[in-house]
Amino acid sequence: MIQVKNLSKSFKKVDAVTNISFEVKKGVVFGLLGENGAGKTTTLRMLATMLKPTNGTAIVDGIDLLQHPEKVRGLIGILFGGETGLYDRLTARENITYFGLLNGMEKLEIERRIEEISNMLDMNEYLDRRAGKFSKGMKQKVSIARSIIHDPDIMLFDEPTSGLDVTSIRVVHEFIRRLKEQGKTIVFSSHSMNEVEKLCDEVGIIHKGEIVEVATIKELREKYEDMELEDIFVKLVGGKK
């Protein structure tokens, strides 16, 4: 589904991501594990076509993201962690509809989809209230809804649980599992071993802009003789320092 080929990105003279390659098959949950500043966000931003790669490319569902960035954006949904940004003066429904329209959907289709998602995430109660006064958890749900309004086949999550409380983290994890059941392809970045172990099929460990290991959780265990993921991570990353 996603083939990353020698992707590199440098900002002025700093190399943020250097020559990384990996493949994510359809229906797989792929975790990008790395420390802060390792290049996770830059990689995801390139996949989302927000940043132009300095070198290399990626093929998303058969489409080269350099040649048809708009088509690729239509295929993917993206959810960012941390402070969730909504338009405070618009209602939850208007916030979601805006993104549906910008993804080329028809009004009727959007309404149907909102009803579906709203039932799933249990947000009917505040759907028509302005987002400005929502709690963090409510905002989180609206931004989840916003990211999947166009029913993308591929979801990118950038540190989706950073800065969230336990309840909200559960909502996000539950959401990722549900997407997996629906057969969606998921790439998500995290610096939490626990999260990666719990949710991912495959892991790419990224350090200082380079991929140092790509394997399934099972393969990692076998290769490193049942070491804890955290220890494996430290071993791989520490060895490169």
Residues forming contacts to other proteins in the complex (CB under 8 A) are 11-12, 45, 48-52, 69-70, 73-74, 76-78, 80, 82-90, 94, 98-99, 101-104, 143, 146-147, 150
Distance in Å, CB of 98 to other proteins, minimum:
5
CA-CA distance, 6 to 148, in Å (whole number)? 29
Here the tokens at position 99 are 């993104």
Give the nearer residue to other proteins in terms of CB position, either 161 or 212.
Answer: 161
Q: How far is the CB of 229 from other proteins (least distance, A)?
A: 29
Closer to other proteins by CB, 65 or 205: give it. Answer: 65
Residue 151 Cβ vs other proteins, minimum distance, rounded to whole Å: 13
DSSP readout, 187-228? EEEES-HHHHHHH-SEEEEEETTEEEEEEEHHHHHHHTTT--
Q: Which is nearer to other proteins, 85 or 238 (CB)?
A: 85
What string of DSSP letters covers 58-126? EEETTEETTT-HHHHHHHEEEEE-SSPP--TTSBHHHHHHHHHHHTT--HHHHHHHHHHHHHHHT-GGG
Least distance (Å) between residue 102 CB and other proteins: 4
If the CB atoms of residues 76 and 206 are measured against other proteins, the closer one turns out to be 76
Q: How far is the CB of 213 from other proteins (least distance, A)?
A: 28
Structure tokens at 102: 């910008």
Q: Which is nearer to other proteins, 28 or 131 (CB)?
A: 131
Q: State the minimum distance, in angstroms, from the CB of residue 212 to other proteins.
A: 25
Q: Give the contacts of 116 (CB within 8 A, at least 6 positions apart).
A: none
Nearer to other proteins, 107 or 170 (CB): 107
Rounded Cα distance, 232 and 226, in Å = 9
DSSP 35-60: -TTSSHHHHHHHHTTSS--SEEEEEE
Output 80 or 233, the one with its CB closest to other proteins: 80
Shortest distance in whole angstroms from residue 39 CB to other proteins? 14
